[in-house]
Structure formats: structure tokens, C-alpha cells
Structure 1
Amino acid sequence: MPRWDITPNGVGAVVSHVGDVMKVLDDIVQAYSGDLEGAATSAGTLAPGGASGEHKGQTGLVAAALAEFMEGTADELQFIGVRVGKSVNGAVEATVAYQEGDLEMAAEVQNKASGLVMPDMPTGWEAGRL
């Protein structure tokens, strides 16, 4: 009997691993924001004499550049999780479709082997509801 070359348990293990990695990635993205802010604060200003204590609240060129960089990469960082989530959901949906297709193929092969003619059987996910 024909079978799909996919194992739902294997897909589940990969999906679980991706979830673990995404948790770590989320921590990294959160740290990224704080690290850039810290770097901008520590970068100092172009104040005369290099005094930083008396110019609180002012930012320099490096801080401005880091702020622009952070603003420019915010959308990309924000949508990493969205893209990964859609990919994982697609893998799960495809696995379910493969399983349903496998069940349909098995039923068709068994019906052909037994010589039975099945009248207008529902296909896809509806077949499992009978």
C-alpha cells in the first residue's frame, strides 16, 4: 500500500524544537533592545572636554545612529516570530493533510482489493466525521 514519506511524530519533534528556539530568540530580541539603549547611553556626546555628567539628557551622534538603526530594524525583528509561526503552522497543517491523504489512499486501496464500489464517499477531513 502506498504511504507518505512523513512521520507526524518527527514533525511534532521539530515543531517542539522550533518552539524552544523561538523562546530563546525572544529573549535575545528583548536583550537587543536593552543593549542598544545601553550602548546609546554610554556612547556619550560631543560635549567639550568629554564631560558627560553635566550634559545628562543629551545624546550624541553614535546614540542618534543607534536609534536610527534600531528603528530601521524594528519591523524585521518584529516579524521574525510571525514568519516562524506561519511556517510552523504550515508544517502542522501539511502533516495533517498528509495523514488524511494517507487514510484516503489506504481506504481506496482496501476498497479496490475487496472489489467494493463505494458510492460518493466524502473526501478530506470530512471523511473522518462519518
Structure 2
Amino acid sequence: MPGWDISPAGVGSVVSNMGAVMKVLDDIVQAYSGDLEGAATSAGTLAPGGASGEHKGQTGLVAAALAEFIEGTADELQFIGVRIGKSVNGAVEATVAYQEGDLEMAAELQHRAAGLIQPDMPGGWKVGRQ
């Protein structure tokens, strides 16, 4: 009987490693946020119209641009983890479906070889010749 082109053990290994990958990704996102905040506060306060210098509470053009960038990419960044989770779950569900399909095909072949047929109505297998 032909086998599947999927290794359940391999999928399991990848899935088990995803926890570590997600931790690293979380660390990167936290660093990204902190780095952008640091860049915004270190960029100075050059304001429109040529004013510059230390102005309490005033942010400069670079900080404003970084704030817009963060706002524009926040949704995408937030859903990276969600998309990864859905991908991992999809891989697990597909692997389970392949395994169940493989077992169903094996059972059908065994029943055919033993002269058993599956009735059209629910209720299980019955003896008979095809």
C-alpha cells in the first residue's frame, strides 16, 4: 500500500520547536518596540518651521514619522503570532487527517480482502461478496 508523503513524526518535531521560535519572535517584537521608542526619543526635537532644541513635551519630525510607522504596522505585527499559530494548527490538523485517511484506506483494503463490504446505510460493516 502506498504511503503518504508526510512524516507525522517530522510534523510533531517542527510543532514542538515552534514554542521556542515563538519565544524568540516575542523577544524580537519587544526589542523592536523598545528600539523604535528609543529612536524616537533620541531623534531630537527639530520641529516644523526650523525650530530646534530641547522643548519639553514636543516631539520632532522623526519621532512623528516613527509614531506613524508604528501605528501603520501595528496590526500586521500583532497578527504575526496569530498567523503562525493558525499555520501550526493547520499542519497538525492536516497530519491527523492524513493519518486517519491512511487508517481508513487500510481498513477498507483489509475488509475488501476479507470479503466484507460497507453497506450504504450507517451501522457498520457486513459480510458479503463484492
Where relative contact order (Cα < 8 A, 6+ residues apart) is larger, the structure is 1
On the 8 A contact 1:15/1:88 being kept in 2, the answer is yes
Distance 1:49 1:104, change over 3 A: closer
Distance 1:116 1:77, change over 3 A: same
Q: Deviations over 1:45-104 (max 9, x none)?
A: 12789543xx22211001000100111110110011111111111000000100100110
The answer to which structure has the higher helix fraction is 1
Please give the TM-score of this superposition, normalised by the length of structure 2.
0.82
2:116 corresponds to 1:116: yes
On the 8 A contact 1:2/1:105 being kept in 2, the answer is no
Q: How many residues matched?
A: 120
Distance 1:121 1:91, change over 3 A: farther
Please give the TM-score of this superposition, normalised by the length of structure 1.
0.82
Over aligned residue pairs, what C-alpha RMSD do you find? 2.1
Extract structure 1 runs of 4+ deviating beyond 6 A.
Answer: none
Unaligned stretches of 5+ residues in structure 1: 123-130
Unaligned stretches of 5+ residues in structure 2: 123-130
Identity %: 83
Distance 1:3 1:121, change over 3 A: farther
